[in-house]
Amino acid sequence: MSAPLNVALVGYGYAGRTIHAPLIQASPRLKLHTIVSSKAEQVVADYPGVVVASDTMQALADAQIDLVVIASPNNSHFMHADSALAAGKHVVVDKPFTVTVSEAQQLLVQAKHHQRLLSVFHNRRWDADFLTVQQLLAAGTLGDIALFESRFERYRPQVQVRWRESDVAGGGLWYDLGPHLLDQALQLFGMPHAIHADLACQRPGAVTPDYFHVLLRYPRLRVRLSGSCLISGGSPRFAVHGSLGSYVKYGLDSQEAMLKRGQQPGESGWGDDPLHGMHYWQQDGEEHGTVYPTVPGDYRCYYDAVAAAILDGAANPVPAEQATQVMRLIELGADSARRGHELPVNGY
């Protein structure tokens, strides 16, 4: 294969249109060749030179397609990825990877059999705030971490008529935002010893969880992850506490909001976060605090790395094996919430 790689994007809903398409376009070694969508007029208006396919099999039958990006509803991820791998295509799947661990494991076997790249779009590894947390932990600035809190909260009091909020496999906030928070925690600390989850439907008319609070237990460390549709503000995105100090950061990474406004990846100010975190520490019995600058985020790194993995044999930026570990915790968390108690993560 040679650059640019021809990409078929499956799905042109929110994720496909707002996030994947602009990021694919921004990668110099990728070309957005085909979009599979029933919204032909919208696709043509947005990308006049792109082929519009009415179904996935039409795109998979095209020998020109090198890479298939799956941004369809969660419960169709397995079906599309399985078909794409069988057709000899490299595959990127939006999070969550699948809706069950069994499906994820089957795709791992398929990718190995067909010798094709299988990667999962855990793009929030390239959030500005998360990159900053990684920097702090790598430098040992906070010492030994005792408590790590990560929240992804929003205020959406009305239940919307869409698949993400329907009682279907892969629906609900735990499958929507949980994979982001779990993946970030695993990148920092590895698999926990146990998980205890509380999931709830809090909004009137909610039929699938719109709230979660999860505790990951490590030998010494505790990790708290939470998400909600009924929090309008006041909670930090990150609160990290260690033996030498703490880091607290408010506000979400700016890149998704920039994409929603129609801004293009790479333009001036891309990935900058104007709301910096605070570093706190104790000295001589007094608390001290200073602004800790947030490093810029950049989702373009993901697709640039995917291209490098296919063309140059570089490392897969998000191996499917890592995403399968996330799915293990998603399943275990849902089971923990049903049972009402902590469950061990066997084998870690």
Judge contact between 53 and 32, C-beta under 8 A: no
How far apart are the C-alpha atoms of 127 and 112, rounded to whole Å?
30
pLDDT in tens, 298-335: 999 999 999 999 999 999 999 999 999 999 999 999 99
pTM, to two decimals:
0.95
| ∠ Cα 234 237 243 (to 5°) | 110
Of the two residues 162 and 148, the one the predictor is more confident about is 148
The predicted pLDDT at position 309 comes to 98
Residue 160 binned pLDDT confidence (cut-offs 50, 70, 90) = confident
Closest by Cα among 300, 266, 298, 312 to 3: 312
* AA letter at 92: V
pLDDT in tens, 178-214: 999 999 999 999 999 999 999 999 999 999 999 999 9
Computed over every residue of the chain, the mean pLDDT equals 96
The predicted pLDDT at position 166 comes to 85
Q: Alpha-carbon torsion 214, 122, 98, 46, what sign?
A: positive
Examine the pLDDT at 10 and tell me if it is beyond 90.
yes
Q: Where are the beta strands (DSSP E) in the chain?
A: 5-10, 30-36, 51-53, 67-70, 90-94, 118-121, 145-153, 194-200, 211-217, 222-228, 238-242, 246-249, 277-283, 286-292, 343-344
Type and span of the H or E element at 114: helix 101-114
Judge contact between 343 and 332, C-beta under 8 A: yes
Examine the pLDDT at 253 and tell me if it is beyond 70.
yes
Judge contact between 287 and 275, C-beta under 8 A: no
124-298+329-344: in CATH 3.30.360.10: yes
How do the domains of the chain map onto residue ranges?
A: 5-121, 124-298+329-344
Judge contact between 153 and 178, C-beta under 8 A: no
Task: Copy the structure tokens of residue 203.
Answer: 């909004």
Examine the pLDDT at 348 and tell me if it is beyond 80.
no
Cis bond before residue 219 (omega within 30° of 0): no
The predicted pLDDT at position 1 comes to 79
Of the two residues 170 and 178, the one the predictor is more confident about is 178
Q: 5-121 adopts what CATH topology?
A: Rossmann fold (3.40.50)
pLDDT in tens, 56-103: 999 999 999 999 999 999 999 999 999 999 999 999 999 999 999 999
Q: Are strands 286-292 and 277-283 parallel, antiparallel or unpaired?
A: antiparallel
Residue 163 binned pLDDT confidence (cut-offs 50, 70, 90) = confident
